[in-house]
Copies of this chain bind each other. A is one copy, B any other.
Amino acid sequence: MDHTETGRRSDARTVGVQAVEDAMRRALELAAEGPAHGPNPRVGCVLLDPAGRTVAEGFHRGAGTPHAEAAALAAARAAGADPRGTTAVVTLEPCAHHGRTGPCADALIEAGVAAVHVAVADPNPVATGGADRLRAAGIEVTTGTLAEEGEELLRPWLHAVRTGRPWVTLKLATSLDGRVAAPDGTSRWITGSAARAHAHRVRAQVDAIAVGSGTVLTDDPSLTARTLDGGLFEHQPLRVVVGTRAVPDGARLRGPGGPLLHLPTHDLDEVLRTLGEREVRHLLVEGGPTLATALLAAYAVDELHAYVAPVLLGAGASAVAPFGVTTIGEAARLATRSVTRLGDDVLLVARRAPTQNGRPARPTKEEI
């Protein structure tokens, strides 16, 4: 081989940077095919031969099934390909612990892979160390390939593993003047069917949905994830009620759907720690205003899903009650991630803005 044309050198075992990036993009696609809910991260893996051609692919299909690396190795063998000497491109650092399956680092070593490229290092204290173990076995390991995309895919899981608390998404569905109901309490429907269908698809992707106990009494929600025809999605999130009021015997929450967990407390820290211990990675909070406001006041909202309808009410309950803002600089100001039209409504997804001393960043002053 003559490398003088490109000026780059590579030994025969090393796949080029571009091929690794392409494979990582594919691995991220594969990872996204796994379930968004559940205690385990979504991971994808692509095995490349020394020429950069794909030998096999795999992804994790949820707790109790093979990890992505094991799935890719199995796929290679099933296709009659030898994984020896391949390069493994994996979205998350291979684990080093014995869980429901053996350590992936060991599986890669035993299979004789030559190199491993990782997007995101594993922050999980019980699983980390995979890269070190691979290196000790003489395997070349790099981390950080498409790290940003990898982090984004794993956002709720990474947050939960790093902090011990679930990623909190607050859902609001309001009129343009920020109201969730008319003065007589009626609220069906402020947003339209496209927005509601979207909200149900989000429910089907989270681990748990929480409402305040007041909302249970007022609205009698079912908190199920439903398809367009009213059927139940296969995955039903844990249904969490926060607050001291009892859940009535005949409540819809006791009907078909996910398990019910009543946390009779107003201590949000306790709520989030308890859910974290139960391996709830992603919590969707659907109201009412009391719970939403308490989370905002505690700076505990990681992401906001605001469904806004082209409707004005002029009166009725506000989505959010006072939470200590007295002047504009103290507002809870989020960073917009996306804006999507859903029928006549709009969905604005926003994240917690970069913080200063643990409080949301203040907007900078600007001359009039």
**Residue ranges of A at the interface with B (Cβ–Cβ < 8 Å):** 172, 174-179, 181-184, 186-190, 193, 293, 296, 304, 306, 308-316, 318-336, 339-341, 343-346, 348, 350, 363, 366, 368
- Residues of chain B within 8 A (CB-CB) of A179 are 178
With contact pairs A314-B323, A346-B348 given, residues A331 and B182 touching in the complex (Cβ less than 8 Å): yes
Q: Are A186 and B315 in contact (CB under 8 A)?
A: no
Q: Are A177 and B326 in contact (CB under 8 A)?
A: no
Q: Are B177 and A320 in contact (CB under 8 A)?
A: yes
Q: Are A339 and B341 in contact (CB under 8 A)?
A: yes
Bound together, the chains give a CA A221 to CA B333 distance in angstroms of 25
Which of B193, B321, B332 is within 8 Å of A366, CB to CB? B193
Q: Are B178 and A174 in contact (CB under 8 A)?
A: yes
Q: List 5 A-B contacts (CB under 8 A).
A: A182-B326, A186-B327, A308-B346, A310-B335, A336-B344
Bound together, the chains give a CA A178 to CA B177 distance in angstroms of 4
Q: Are A334 and B308 in contact (CB under 8 A)?
A: no
Q: Are A310 and B333 in contact (CB under 8 A)?
A: yes
Q: Are A331 and B345 in contact (CB under 8 A)?
A: no
- Residues of chain B within 8 A (CB-CB) of A363 are 189
With contact pairs A178-B174, A328-B182, A346-B339 given, residues A314 and B308 touching in the complex (Cβ less than 8 Å): no
- Residues of chain B within 8 A (CB-CB) of A330 are 182
Q: Are B312 and A331 in contact (CB under 8 A)?
A: yes
Bound together, the chains give a CA A114 to CA B296 distance in angstroms of 70
Bound together, the chains give a CA A79 to CA B340 distance in angstroms of 49
